[in-house]
């Protein structure tokens, strides 16, 4: 180890120190800016912070193990490299000591990283992502989503609260939901696989033709958010985006009333081909 | 020895892994149902065919209308280097070889455009020869970009067209809603290019990023879908660019335009189909009786648009209905310029040209261009003030409904 310190201090530090110090300083100063600019948008759903904290946990654990691995690689490189009168040699790590070391590292990595993340992730999935509110939950807001090349068709129940009725609000690439009520999706597709992605809500779920998938979120913030397709679905995949409007509690009933009135005005009882509601899947 | 930790990992994963599968396996059931449906259906419905089941190659050249006899004359006069006037250019013969008639006309020195005789219509028009290779290129691009909605053969009923309202255009009909060329006319290539480049807001018809060359090929293919005697094979049809509503007369007086627009909008009875945006009392003040609507005879609820049933846009034989937009609520289809800004010119052009087959008449000719422009400004003002602004809109509606 002494040899290592002397080695480093002798030559390399001089040309490494300045850029390293600059990099560290600038990283520390602008970390928040980088996160604000390039990082995820702040979570806008009730369960969003859970997934963000899982993400941070994974990033931290992987970051720490990356540093450990980096040190373990650098130390032998610097300590055992070729010098005058000494030839570097390659070691296959076949000795009992090496095998034990590998085994211990593997077990530690598995327990610390994989098991920890797995347990946390399973908890989040069970308690949040898969914990879809039952259809009879009071205040539940049902949305049927019919994906297609290349658009999102949304159907919301309107003032009567029932799907498949003439006052259903049908929109393309635009969805308006209330804040503070669980929004439950039934998703399917007309043609190929799409994926409903609400990045601000931390929700992503595939829409498969021939199957109905279920997903949910509850908005914690009002405002306009992105709706994206997260599954490459053909030429215009990149155009397949929409807007999610989360309305405050005070505004939503008035909006829903007007939307339903206009839906009724647009309803053509004889146009059977225009129907696409299905039996709600729990 | 190294194998041991790996084994441990695998064993541990195997213990935990079943937990993943249990809650999320609804896809599995759905997949089975999908397979069952596929096996029980002997013949695929038209929208379910895959592109490989369609012959992409177009085998014959197509003669597509450039313009009718009279309209083409004006165009040819403007380009004397290319077109020369020839007396007795075309002498169509009947089956026995006898000359029926003699037509003077313009000869295209490049040879692409010809005066052609249609024995069914017993008349002539100028047609352009479009090669089979070009149509094939157009068809290939069409299948790539358009067919998912407009159908593999242009019937407007592609895989993704199901349940869509408004339905995608059936190209065999040769009618388009927002090319802005007037309800009776066929759109020029440039008008179609503009439409595809800008897209139609609020529908899956996006602004498409095809190159101009690709797009023109696709357009030739779409034109070639016209059945005999109609669309681009009709000797009487007139091909036009966007309707001419003149220079903007309101450049320095936008407020004046909006005020004038409000009066014109309500005086000519736009609220017969679209909502009215002033109180019934104010409508009574505005209506003179000369705008085509009688004082006092209005629809019951002027805050809602009125559906137009039985339009010419069909889905599987059913004539669909169209709800005219409420400008404070719905997005309008073709109100933006190439830069994406809401434009009084574009709105005024839609008003001037009308919307073919939908109930929206062509206003050019029925009112001065200045008033058409004023409506453009008024509608733009409505959209900018109320669209996507729930509180402002709620206040307006409450005023119109007398406080309810």
Q: How far apart are CA A33 and CA B370, in angstroms?
A: 52
Biggest distance spanned by C-alpha atoms of chain B = 101
Question: How many Å lie between the alpha carbon of A72 and the closest alpha carbon of chain B?
Answer: 19
User: Chain A contacts of B318, Cβ < 8 Å?
Assistant: 270-273
Structural domain contains residue A277: no
Q: How far is CA B368 from CA B251, B375, B384, in A?
A: 17, 11, 25
Q: Which of B89, B146, B129 is nearest to B233 (CA)?
A: B129
User: Which tokens is A166 given?
Assistant: 């003439």
Q: Which of B141, B149, B194 is nearest to B169 (CA)?
A: B149
Q: How far apart are CA B398 and CA A257, in angstroms?
A: 13
Of B145, B307, B329, the CB nearest to A268: B307
Structural domain contains residue A168: yes
Q: Which of A155, A263, A167 is nearest to B307 (CA)?
A: A263
User: Chain B contacts of A242, Cβ < 8 Å?
Assistant: none
DSSP letter for B242, please. S
User: Which tokens is A278 given?
Assistant: 């299905």
Q: Select from B38, B44, B149, B204 the residue whose CB has the most chain A CBs within 10 Å, as the one to mutate to test that interface.
A: B204
- Choose between A32 and B207: higher pLDDT: B207
Of B30, B204, B306, the CB nearest to A210: B30
What number is the average pLDDT over the span A233-257? 91
CA nearest A260 in B: which residue?
B304
Report cis status (omega within 30 of 0) of the bond before A150.
yes
Say yes or no: A237 contacts chain B, CB-CB below 8 A: no
CATH class of B132-240: mainly alpha
Q: How far apart are CA A159 and CA B60, in angstroms?
A: 56
Say yes or no: B19 contacts chain A, CB-CB below 8 A: yes
According to the model, what pLDDT value does residue A109 have? 87
Say yes or no: B163 contacts chain A, CB-CB below 8 A: yes
Of B204, B309, B394, the CB nearest to A150: B204
Say yes or no: B309 contacts chain A, CB-CB below 8 A: yes
Structural domain contains residue A89: no
Biggest distance spanned by C-alpha atoms of chain A = 94
The DSSP bridge pattern shows strands A169-172 and A151-156 to be antiparallel
Kindly provide the ipTM of the predicted complex, given to two decimals.
0.81
State pLDDT tens for residues B118-168: 888 888 999 999 999 999 999 999 998 999 899 888 888 888 888 898 899
Between the CA atoms of B235, B236, B242 and B245, what dihedral angle is there, to the nearest 10 degrees? 150
Q: What is the mean pLDDT of each run of 10 residues along chain B (404 residues)?
A: 47 44 37 44 60 82 90 88 90 87 90 89 90 94 91 87 90 91 92 92 90 94 92 91 91 92 91 91 85 79 89 87 93 89 93 90 90 94 91 89 70
Structural domain contains residue A73: yes
- Choose between A28 and B163: higher pLDDT: B163
Tell me: do A220 and A123 sit in the same domain. Answer: no
* B307, B274 contact by CB (below 8 A): no
Three-class DSSP category at A101 = helix
- Mean predicted lDDT score pLDDT of chain A: 87
Q: How far apart are CA A175 and CA B137, in angstroms?
A: 38
State pLDDT tens for residues A4-27: 555 555 555 566 667 777 777 776
The DSSP bridge pattern shows strands A169-172 and B83-90 to be unpaired
In this complex, do B30 and A208 lie within 8 Å of one another by their Cβ atoms? Answer: yes
Say yes or no: B208 contacts chain A, CB-CB below 8 A: yes
Say yes or no: A191 contacts chain B, CB-CB below 8 A: yes
Say yes or no: B140 contacts chain A, CB-CB below 8 A: no
Q: How far is CA B361 from CA B237, B266, B268, B357, in A?
A: 19, 15, 12, 9
Facing residues of A186 across strands? Answer: A144, A214
Structural domain contains residue A68: yes
- Judged by phi (left if over 0) then psi (alpha if -120 to 50, else beta), residue A93 lies in left
Say yes or no: A273 contacts chain B, CB-CB below 8 A: yes
Tell me: do A65 and A126 sit in the same domain. Answer: yes
Task: Count A/B contacts: CB-CB distance under 8 Å.
Answer: 142
What is the Cα gyration radius of chain A?
Answer: 27
Q: Which residue has the tokens 């007396």?
A: B87
Q: Select from A273, A275, A277 the residue whose CB has the most chain B CBs within 10 Å, as the one to mutate to test that interface.
A: A273
According to the model, what pLDDT value does residue A12 have? 57
In this complex, do B208 and A146 lie within 8 Å of one another by their Cβ atoms? Answer: no
State pLDDT tens for residues A97-145: 989 988 998 998 888 889 999 999 999 999 999 999 998 889 999 999 9
Q: Which of B298, B248, B247 is nearest to B269 (CA)?
A: B298
Structural domain contains residue A115: yes
Opening angle at CA B231, ends B225 and B237, nearest 5: 155
Q: Which residue has the tokens 């209308």?
A: B65
**A 34-73: CB under 8 A from B:** none
Tell me: do A237 and A179 sit in the same domain. Answer: yes
Sequence-distant (≥ 6) Cβ neighbours of residue B362 within 8 angstroms: B182, B183, B184, B243, B352, B353, B354
Structural domain contains residue A217: yes
According to the model, what pLDDT value does residue B404 have? 54
Sequence-distant (≥ 6) Cβ neighbours of residue A64 within 8 angstroms: none
Tell me: do A170 and A126 sit in the same domain. Answer: no
State pLDDT tens for residues A151-197: 999 999 999 988 889 999 999 999 999 999 999 999 999 989 999 99
Say yes or no: B9 contacts chain A, CB-CB below 8 A: yes
Alpha helices, H only, chain A: 2-7, 13-38, 48-79, 96-109, 116-124, 252-266
In this complex, do A274 and B323 lie within 8 Å of one another by their Cβ atoms? Answer: no
User: Chain B contacts of A148, Cβ < 8 Å?
Assistant: 148, 160, 164, 204
User: Which tokens is B2 given?
Assistant: 């190294």
User: Which tokens is A129 given?
Assistant: 């992502």
Say yes or no: B117 contacts chain A, CB-CB below 8 A: no
Question: How many Å lie between the alpha carbon of B244 and the closest alpha carbon of chain A?
Answer: 32
Count of the separate structural domains present in chain A: 2
- CATH code at A222? 2.60.40.420
Q: Select from B10, B50, B160, B209 the residue whose CB has the most chain A CBs within 10 Å, as the one to mutate to test that interface.
A: B160
Tell me: do A168 and A236 sit in the same domain. Answer: yes
According to the model, what pLDDT value does residue A37 have? 79
In this complex, do A106 and B160 lie within 8 Å of one another by their Cβ atoms? Answer: no
According to the model, what pLDDT value does residue B232 have? 92
Tell me: do A159 and A108 sit in the same domain. Answer: no
Structural domain contains residue A207: yes
Tell me: do A124 and A160 sit in the same domain. Answer: no
Domain that holds residue A145: 141-267
Q: Which of B56, B223, B226 is nearest to B147 (CA)?
A: B56
Question: What's the distance, CA B393 to chain centroid?
Answer: 29
Question: How many Å lie between the alpha carbon of B344 and the closest alpha carbon of chain A?
Answer: 25
Say yes or no: B307 contacts chain A, CB-CB below 8 A: yes
Tell me: do A118 and A174 sit in the same domain. Answer: no
Q: Where are the domains of chain B?
A: 62-130, 132-240, 254-400
Three-class DSSP category at B5 = helix
Q: Which of B250, B249, B240, B300 is nearest to B272 (CA)?
A: B300
Answer whether residue A63 shows pLDDT above 90.
Answer: yes
């Amino acid at each position: 180890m002494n040899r290592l310190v002397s080695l480093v201090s002798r030559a390399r530090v001089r040309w490494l120190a300045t850029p390293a110090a600059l990099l560290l300083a600038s990283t520390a100063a602008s970390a928040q800016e980088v996160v604000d600019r390039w990082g995820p948008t702040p979570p806008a759903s009730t369960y969003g912070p859970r997934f963000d904290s899982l993400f941070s946990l994974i990033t931290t654990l992987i970051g720490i193990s990356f540093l450990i691995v980096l040190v373990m690689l650098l130390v032998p490189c610097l300590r055992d490299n070729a010098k005058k009168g000494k030839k570097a040699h390659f070691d296959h790590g076949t000795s009992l000591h090496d095998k034990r070391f590998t085994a211990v590292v593997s077990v530690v990595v598995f327990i610390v990283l994989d098991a920890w993340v797995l347990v946390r992730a399973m908890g989040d999935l069970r308690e949040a992502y898969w914990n879809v509110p039952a259809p009879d939950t009071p205040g539940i807001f049902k949305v049927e989503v019919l994906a297609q090349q290349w658009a999102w068709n949304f159907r919301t129940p309107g003032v009567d609260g029932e799907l498949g009725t003439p006052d259903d609000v049908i929109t393309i690439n635009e969805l308006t939901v209330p804040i503070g009520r669980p929004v439950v999706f039934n998703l399917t597709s007309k043609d190929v696989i799409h994926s409903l992605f609400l990045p601000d809500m931390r929700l992503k779920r595939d829409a498969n033709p021939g199957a109905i998938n279920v997903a949910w979120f509850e908005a914690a913030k009002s405002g306009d958010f992105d709706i994206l397709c997260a599954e490459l679905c053909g030429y215009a995949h990149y155009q397949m985006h929409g807007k999610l409007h989360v309305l405050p509690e005070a505004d939503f009933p008035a909006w829903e009333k007007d939307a339903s009135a206009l839906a009724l005005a647009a309803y053509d009882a004889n146009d059977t081909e225009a129907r696409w509601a299905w039996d709600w899947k729990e | 020895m190294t194998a041991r930790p790996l084994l441990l990992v695998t064993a541990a994963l195997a213990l935990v892994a079943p937990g993943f599968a249990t809650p999320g396996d609804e896809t599995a059931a759905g997949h089975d149902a999908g397979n069952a449906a596929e096996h029980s259906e002997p013949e695929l419905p038209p929208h379910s065919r895959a592109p490989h089941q369609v012959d992409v190659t177009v085998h014959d050249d197509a003669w597509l209308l450039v313009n009718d006899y009279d309209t083409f004359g004006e165009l040819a006069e403007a380009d004397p280097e290319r077109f020369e006037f020839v007396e007795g250019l075309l002498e169509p013969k009947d089956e026995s070889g006898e000359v029926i008639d003699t037509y003077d006309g313009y000869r295209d020195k490049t040879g692409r455009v010809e005066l052609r005789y249609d024995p069914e219509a017993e008349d002539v028009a100028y047609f352009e020869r479009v090669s089979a290779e070009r149509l094939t290129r157009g068809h290939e691009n069409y299948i790539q970009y358009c067919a998912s909605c407009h159908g593999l053969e242009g019937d407007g009923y592609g895989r993704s067209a199901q349940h869509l309202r408004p339905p995608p255009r059936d190209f065999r009909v040769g009618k388009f809603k927002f090319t802005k060329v007037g309800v009776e006319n066929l759109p020029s290539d440039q008008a179609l290019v503009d439409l595809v480049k800008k897209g139609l807001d609020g529908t899956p018809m996006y602004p498409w990023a095809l190159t101009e060359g690709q797009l023109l090929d696709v357009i030739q293919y779409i034109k070639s879908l016209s059945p005999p005697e109609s669309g681009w094979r009709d000797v009487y049809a007139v091909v036009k660019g966007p309707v001419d509503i003149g220079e903007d007369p309101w450049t320095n007086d936008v407020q004046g335009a909006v005020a004038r627009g409000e009066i014109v909008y309500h005086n000519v009875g736009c609220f017969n189909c679209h909502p009215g945006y002033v109180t019934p009392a104010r409508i009574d003040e505005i209506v003179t009786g000369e705008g085509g609507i009688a004082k006092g005879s209005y629809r019951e609820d002027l805050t809602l648009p009125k559906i137009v049933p039985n339009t010419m846009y069909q889905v599987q034989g059913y004539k669909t209905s169209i709800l005219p937009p409420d400008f404070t609520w719905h997005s309008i289809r073709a109100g933006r310029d190439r830069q994406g800004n809401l434009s009084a010119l574009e709105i005024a052009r839609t008003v001037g040209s009308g919307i073919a087959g939908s109930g929206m008449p062509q206003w050019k000719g029925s009112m001065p261009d200045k008033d058409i422009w004023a409506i453009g400004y008024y509608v733009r003002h409505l959209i900018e003030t109320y669209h996507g602004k729930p509180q402002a809109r709620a206040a307006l509606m409450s005023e119109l409904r007398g406080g309810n």
